[in-house]
């Protein structure tokens, strides 16, 4: 989509940071963003913002939001996923032991829901959503979101999943009014990720069966890579402190991932259309984040430790040998490119958000 390339090297102080752990990221963000962090934090003492995240499925939205929370703090910032809300509502509806919660939700909706379906029909739409036939009406999504935001309390927000369809774009433009954030800034956050990156992330994604963390042998290994001689295969063990005691915390493939993007093609096409539409809308500021940097110029923009690496493994003389090199892929126009670690995406996002809020 032709977004500008972010120059992280401009913010260099010559030091190397470890971007895979919160401590390393803390130093990195503070070194590269300096006083911008405090400026945004003090802005948020009396104000909020609403950022609508628009990116393709598998583009890493959840990860970026989590790292923004690391910078801004949980008391000032929250990430809301419409998908998570709908899943939670579904759980409440099908679990008979949660009837009190269902009742509360119904009371709330009686007050705020206005739509063509009855509340009962709307609940049915949520229960049957996996069949894919009935879609959940926007008139229901909006009060559910409003309710979630009231539960969280007044904070700056990143919303993932609204707009989800083309007709929801115009709703998002008036969303601040609906949640009584009228005078606070809002903006779109658009992350442009090439199809090849999404395809490979999906193909190589592994999940811890205990804590559900996603990792990858190829792009994002844990601290513990092991070798299974019987199968001549390498595998990951979870390095989450709560999982390390479990023998079964061996990462597994997520069902359906191996077939790659074919299974989510329709969603990806719609995500692309949504982003293209969002770019053309006047009046609302946009944070534009580009994933791909042509290999030929990547080292002019990114520091060595910011590159997304591609890992490979060999088993020799009873030892696992790990090698890595910057991951190379073709962007959507066929240019051989590199990309950066999630923390560098967030650095880019934060710089642009600072500009919108502070100027």
Q: Does 207 bind Zn ion (CB under 5 A)?
A: no
Site for Zn ion in 209-248 (CB under 5 A): 210-211, 238, 240, 243
Cβ proximity to Zn ion: between 211 and 281 the closer is 211
119, 136 contact by CB (below 8 A): no
Q: Tell me how far, at minimum, the Cβ of 133 lies from Zn ion, in Å.
A: 35
252 binds Zn ion (CB under 5 A): no
What the block records as the tokens of 346 is 């967030």
Cα R_g (the chain), whole angstroms: 22
Q: Which is nearer to Zn ion, 197 or 208 (CB)?
A: 208
The β-bridge partners of 156 are 77
Query: Per CB under 5 A, which of residues 39..68 are in contact with Zn ion?
Result: none
User: Would you say 137 and 122 are in contact if contact means Cβ atoms under 8 Å apart?
Assistant: yes
Compute the least distance from the CB of residue 201 to Zn ion, in Å. 19
Residues touching Zn ion: how many (CB under 5 A)? 7
How buried is residue 170: exposed, middle or buried, by Cβ count under 10 Å (0-12/13-18/19+)?
A: exposed
Please, which residue, 248 or 312, has the CB nearer to Zn ion? Answer: 248
Give the residue with the Cβ less far from Zn ion, 144 or 243: 243
**Least Cβ distance, residue 160 to Zn ion (angstroms):** 23
Nearer to Zn ion, 33 or 207 (CB): 207
User: How far is residue 102's CA from residue 83's CA, in Å, rounded to a whole number?
Assistant: 18
Tokens read off for 59? 């583009």
Cα dist. 37→11, 68, 133, 138, 184 in Å? 14, 11, 45, 35, 18
Contacting residue, 136, 208, 347, 349, with Zn ion by CB under 5 A:
208
Quote the strand ranges of 209-296, DSSP E.
Answer: 214-216, 224-228, 233-237, 252-253, 286-290, 293-294
Smallest gap from Cβ 204 to Zn ion, in A, equals 17
Smallest distance, Zn ion to C-beta of residue 140, A? 34
Shortest distance, position 234 Cβ to Zn ion, whole Å: 17
Q: What number of CA atoms fall less than 13 Å from residue 154's CA on the CB side?
A: 11
CB 350 within 8 A of CB 287: no
191 φ, ψ (degrees, to nearest 5): -110, 120
Q: For Zn ion, which is the closer residue by CB, 211 or 320?
A: 211
Q: Which residue has the tokens 């949504």?
A: 274
Smallest distance, Zn ion to C-beta of residue 33, A: 31
Q: Of 19 and 237, which CB lies nearer to Zn ion in the complex structure?
A: 237
Closest CA to 162 of 179, 182, 184, 180: 179
Residue 211 or 336 with smaller CB distance to Zn ion: 211
User: Which residue lies nearer to Zn ion by CB, 134 or 210?
Assistant: 210
For strands 336-338 and 329-330, give the pairing. Answer: antiparallel
Q: How far is the CB of 214 from Zn ion (least distance, A)?
A: 10
Q: Rounded to 5 degrees, what angle do the CA atoms 289, 337, 275 make? A: 30
> What is the smallest separation between the CB atom of 236 and Zn ion, expressed in angstroms?
10
Closest approach, Cβ 59 to Zn ion, in A, equals 23
* Nearest of 50, 33, 22 to residue 287 by alpha carbon: 50
User: Which positions touch Zn ion (CB under 5 A)?
Assistant: 208, 210-211, 238, 240, 243, 249
């Amino acid at each position: 989509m032709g977004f500008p390339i972010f120059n992280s090297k401009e913010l260099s102080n010559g030091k190397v940071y470890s971007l895979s752990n919160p401590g390393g990221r803390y130093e990195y963000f503070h070194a590269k963003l300096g006083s911008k962090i405090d400026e945004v934090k003090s802005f948020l003492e009396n104000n909020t913002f609403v950022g609508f995240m628009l990116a393709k499925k598998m583009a890493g939205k959840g990860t970026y939001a989590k790292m923004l929370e690391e910078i801004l703090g949980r008391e000032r910032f929250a990430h809301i996923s419409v998908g998570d809300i709908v899943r939670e509502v579904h759980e409440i509806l099908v679990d008979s032991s949660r009837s009190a919660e269902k009742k509360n939700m119904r009371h709330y909706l009686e007050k705020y829901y206005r739509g063509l379906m009855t509340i009962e029909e709307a609940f049915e739409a949520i229960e049957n959503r996996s069949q894919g036939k009935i879609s959940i009406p926007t008139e229901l999504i909006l009060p559910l979101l409003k309710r979630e935001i009231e539960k969280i309390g007044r904070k700056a927000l990143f919303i993932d999943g609204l707009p989800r369809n083309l007709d929801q774009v115009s709703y998002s433009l008036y969303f601040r009014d609906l949640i009584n954030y009228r005078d606070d800034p809002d903006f779109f956050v658009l992350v442009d990720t090439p199809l090849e990156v999404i395809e490979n992330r999906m193909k190589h994604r592994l999940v811890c069966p205990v804590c559900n963390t996603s990792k990858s042998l190829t792009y994002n290994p844990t601290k513990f890579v092991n070798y299974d001689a019987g199968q001549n295969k390498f595998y990951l063990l979870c390095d989450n402190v709560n999982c390390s005691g479990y023998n079964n915390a061996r990462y597994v493939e997520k069902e359906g991932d191996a077939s790659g993007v074919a299974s989510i093609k329709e969603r990806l096409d719609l995500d692309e259309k949504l982003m293209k539409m969002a770019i053309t809308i006047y009046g609302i500021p946009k944070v534009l984040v580009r994933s791909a940097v042509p290999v030929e110029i990547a080292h002019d923009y990114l520091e060595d430790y910011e590159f997304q690496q591609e890992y490979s493994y060999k088993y020799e003389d009873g030892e696992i040998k790990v090698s890595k090199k910057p991951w190379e892929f073709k962007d959507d126009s066929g240019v051989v490119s590199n990309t950066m670690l999630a923390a560098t995406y967030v650095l880019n996002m934060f710089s642009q958000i600072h500009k919108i809020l502070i100027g």
